Amino acid sequence: MAPNSLTASYASPESEPFTFASSLPALQSPASVADKTSYLAALRASVTDAQAQINKELTARMEEDKARDAATKNGIIDDAKEEENYGEEIVEDED
């Protein structure tokens, strides 16, 4: 059998895309318990690596977004208001 892989891709109109890829060992058919255990250990390690890399990349993009938003607001950010409205659409009142 061909080797397996774990891949994840990210794309956004505002950010650079990135891809994570990790090779996994091929399982022979029929696979022994030791082969399955080894494969699952490699898969678990790959998932942990993917999670760490994805978190790092997305955190960097969140910081870029935050800096871009700050530049458009002339550098004035109300952290308390941002925290209160996190994840919600903000509708500005008209005076």
Look at residue 56 and tell me if it is in a domain.
Answer: yes
The tally of domains found in the chain comes to 1
HEC string for 27-84 = CCCCCCHHHHHHHHHHHHHHHHHHHHHHHHHHHHHHHHHHHHHHHHCCCCCCHHHHHH
Residue 89 lies in a domain: no
pLDDT at 2: 53
Could you report the per-residue pLDDT of 64-87, keeping only the tens digit for each?
888 877 777 665 666 777 777 776
pTM of the model: 0.64
Instruction: Please report where in the chains the tokens 């699952």 appear, as a residue.
Output: 40
Q: Is residue 51 part of a domain?
A: yes
| Residue 85 phi, psi (nearest 5) | -100, 15
